[in-house]
Every structure is written in C-alpha cells, then in structure tokens.
Structure 1
C-alpha cells in the first residue's frame, strides 16, 4: 500500500501546509525552494565542496551492502578526513587504500558539533537524488521494531514469511531532487535510499516543552522522557505479572492492555 507525499511548488501553499494544526500531520515537500541560497548549484561540484568545507576527522559507516543493518551491524565504524570522504564518495578520487574492498560504500550521518534532542525535522536535499519512504506513527506495530530500530533491513524486498504485517503497512513515498525541502513530522518512521552521491542538511527543532526531551540525545531519535520512564515501569509490571500462573497472567495482562487502549490509542490495533 503506497501513497505519494504531497509536493508543493508555491511558497504560499507550502506555508499553509506547515501551519495546519492537526494531529495527523504528514510529510510534505517544497520543490524548488527559493530561500536556501546558492548551495544547490555550487555544492554539486564535489571539488568545490571539499575545498570550502573545514577539514576534520569524521566517523563514518563503511559497508559492502547498500542497506545498512543497524541491528546486526553489517558495517564498520571508521575515521576519515572529511575532504577525503567527499572525494571518495563522489567517485572523483582514485585510491588504492580501502577499509574493506573497492566496492565499499560510505555513509556520514552528521558533522554537527552540538547534541540535539529535537524531533521535527526539515531535510534539505542539496546534491543528488534520494528516495524517502515513510510510515505513520500508528503503523508502529507493523514495523517489527526492536527498540528504536526495525528488524526489516531491506524495506523494498521484505521477507513475507518473517514480516507479513510489514507488507500491508501503509507507506508514503517521494523522490527528492536537489533543492527540495522535506518536512518530517515527529514520530514518523522513515527510510532514506540514496539514488546517487548526495549531500543533505537536517534542521531539527523541538515542538514540545524542553523538559520532555532527553538532554543526552545526540541523534534526535530517543524517546521522550515520560515515554522512556513508562517503558521502564512496564518492564517492572511485566515482571510482576510473571509471578502469576499463565491463566491469571493472561487475564490481568488483557485488562492492562484494554486500559492503555482506552486512554492512549487513537487508532485501532
């Protein structure tokens, strides 16, 4: 089940889209954004980018696989100077020193200095093309989550026997072009697939009270503090229920599930 993400070509329509105060916010794209400067034309030359950017060691993901498995870690962490990374990843630099082999792929998650705990996100595609796939927060139980990661590595070809619910989960798709500004609402699950060498900029911000965010959240993907506390409490609740015989555990477990459904859920499970 696929839906297209709305694309706006008019700044007025884009602003109206962002100002909608509804709980069912969805991602959207402003195509051909006019207020992001000259980076789209200048940064497409990797040599220009490598020359202008401040060189520094960065920690990158290196893998032979295009789909990185953050659960089983089919990649390694390596250090590389930023300028060299740009030239390697763009294919402009010929080199014979590899971490794995000549087919290795590189991924740099961020170069920012400051930790961020923000949730809403503007994703600005500067160079290259990318396919963005999204799932709404209410699809969480269909995504086979383990902590903050999904067990599904290849979202384009999921194993139907291992992940049957994933196949029926509603997904939203858009192909990003240079100059696109993508709005990613908080709590939405997303997968980014690079279709070519690319550079993008994330702009995060907090839309809730500051005290709700984990101050040590580097990547902006940790649970809100009350949710993390509730998860720890749930672990203790489960331990208490495990002291009961199976039939009692089932009975009281269903009672608790029903209370959560009544108080918390806006969509049927």
Structure 2
C-alpha cells in the first residue's frame, strides 16, 4: 500500500502569508477559514436551479464510481440552472432518482461558450452565481486563467490526473476526499497522457500495476468552505463523499508564452515540454534502424541521461 501523508491544514491564511511562506514550497495545503462569501450557505440545489440561468451543459455519467474519462457517456440538455426548460421540472432531481436507482454517478463541469476557444469562467457562464462567491485573491489578476463550476454526485471518483497550471479547489458545499501524488512519483502512476490508468486507488490491481505502491500518497478531506491549493503538475484524484458543489480557479504560474494557446482546460503540456516529447519520440524511432541488441543498449543510455538530468535537480 502506498505511503499515506496528510496534507497540512492552515487556518486563516492571508494573501501575504500564502505568497511568502506557502506558495514557494510548491506543495498542496488546505486553507481553512477563508472568506468565500455567501455561496457556502446559498448554493443548494434549489437555489442553483432558480438563479443559475439558461445554459446548455454536459453531464458526464458513469455506471461505476471510478469515472474513466475515456469511457464517459455524455448527456446534453438545456437547463435553467439545473432545470429542464421544456418541463420546468428539476432535471437534477429527476436524474438523481434515475441515476441512484441505476447506480450511476454524474459529474458536471462548466465549459466556455465555445469549449474549443473559450475557457470556463463562472462570471460569464453563471453571472447570477458569481456574486455569491469571493475568489481568494492570492495571485495577480493578469495570471487568472479560468474558474470552473462543478457539481458531483455522492460516491463519484474522478480519474487521477495533473494540470499544468496552479489551482484552488474551492469546496463550496458537501465533502470531498482528495488523494494527491507528487510529480516526482510520476513513474509509479502508469500514465496515459495526463491521466493515470490506475482507477481504484484504494484497491489497486498490483499484478497489473506493481510499482504503484511506491508512490507517496498525500490525502485530505475537504469540508464546505475549505480551499485546497494544488500546485501545477501534482496528480490529484477526487472522491465526492457527499453531493457537492465546487469551483476550481486556475492561474498561470509560468509566463503566458509557455502555455499552448489552444488550451482551454489548463491541461495541455507547455509548448517546450511538448516539443521535447516529440523530439524524444523521433529519437526512439531513429533507433529502429538498428538491430534489437543495439536498440536496447542505446535506449538504456538515453534513459540514463534523462535520469541524470532529472535526479540532479533539487526540486522535491
């Protein structure tokens, strides 16, 4: 079983304390006692249904608690907040009954007006809700990237993944358990792109993923009103222990030129990293011209060079 390390919890942290003492460490921390406005008491399902505004949204539906992004089924409907405008019945309530009876889980993630071009921004997609929440101003305004509105059914577990930007996970209502892994443990997570293939973290198949137990496992439970700082590149897996509403706020830790300009989700690798991976792929392809014994030998030499470069860093 992976080593379990509790994520530190700090009460009443100010902007100055965060920027000077916490942020430079580049490690997750739970911030408690932050003034988030009236959202923590207002954002019930009924309230959101009344003031959410007319918006077409997509709900991800899974037949198992561990949601696999590749196998998601997408349901699309026209909502007034969480209401279906054609019948005025709460689509949230009707789907909740159906999904519970069928043992399905649902997950809503807000999108930009055109998801291919626009980022999610609660101020634009849900302007009547935006006034209820105070986003912690722990970064410069020009660093802001997106603010993502989320709703999760109880028992839902999202896939383990990393983002390339720093973010706050604001737990407005409900409770979540969050498991995080350091970027230094990426080699134990069996990655497919930005996501881990290991879906069931509590009972992983160690025959299929034998190195997974080596990964250091950081854990915390978020209550309503808590804010989790997730540094860029930290892997995270979120389990909704209750029906909950949350907001993710992403901001640019690097200069804007470093990021892929077509990235509207904050999860495309920086352009320099993408180029390096492409060069590596071409280098490995070049070895195909050699006999197997030579391919193996020079591939191992390439691995040693990369390890030497990576492990010479003081970054933890």
TM-score normalised according to structure 2 size: 0.75
Partner residue of 1:239?
285
3-state DSSP class of the match of 2:109? Answer: coil
State the distance in 2 between where 1:132 and 1:148 align.
17
Deviation, 1:101, is 6.3
State the distance in 2 between where 1:241 and 1:33 align.
54
Structure 1 window deviating more from structure 2 (222-231 vs 24-33): it is 24-33
Residue correspondence of structure 1 range 67-86 to structure 2 within 5 A? 67-71=66-70, 73=71, 75-80=72-77, 81=79, 82-84=81-83
Partner residue of 2:103?
103
State the distance in 2 between where 1:84 and 1:161 align.
45
Deviation, 1:155, is 1.2
3-state DSSP class of the match of 2:207? Answer: coil
Deviation, 1:106, is 1.1
Deviation, 1:94, is 4.2
Contact in 1 for aligned 2:99/2:105 (Cα 8 Å): no
State the distance in 1 between where 2:300 and 2:248 align.
41
Deviation, 1:50, is 1.3
Residue 54 (str. 1) matches residue 71 (str. 2):
no
3-state DSSP class of the match of 2:239? Answer: strand
Deviation, 1:19, is 2.6
CA RMSD, 1 decimal: 2.7
- Deviations along 1:163-185, one digit per CA (max 9) or x if unpaired, are 12112210100000010011000
Name which of 197, 204, 213 aligns with 1:158. 204
3-state DSSP class of the match of 1:139? Answer: helix
Deviation, 1:254, is 2.3
3-state DSSP class of the match of 2:83? Answer: helix
User: 5+ unaligned residues in a row in structure 2: which ranges?
Assistant: 120-144, 147-163
Name which of 221, 230, 241 aligns with 1:195. 241
User: 5+ unaligned residues in a row in structure 1: which ranges?
Assistant: none
State the distance in 1 between where 2:68 and 2:202 align.
14
Count of residues paired in the alignment? 260
State the distance in 2 between where 1:88 and 1:5 align.
36
State the distance in 2 between where 1:48 and 1:22 align.
35
State the distance in 2 between where 1:196 and 1:100 align.
13
Residue correspondence of structure 1 range 1-16 to structure 2 within 5 A? 1-12=3-14, 15-16=16-17
Name which of 281, 300, 303 aligns with 1:254. 300
State the distance in 1 between where 2:199 and 2:16 align.
35
In structure 2, the CA distance between the partners of 1:100 and 1:124, relative to structure 1 (3 Å rule), is: closer
Contact in 1 for aligned 2:64/2:103 (Cα 8 Å): no
3-state DSSP class of the match of 1:19? Answer: helix
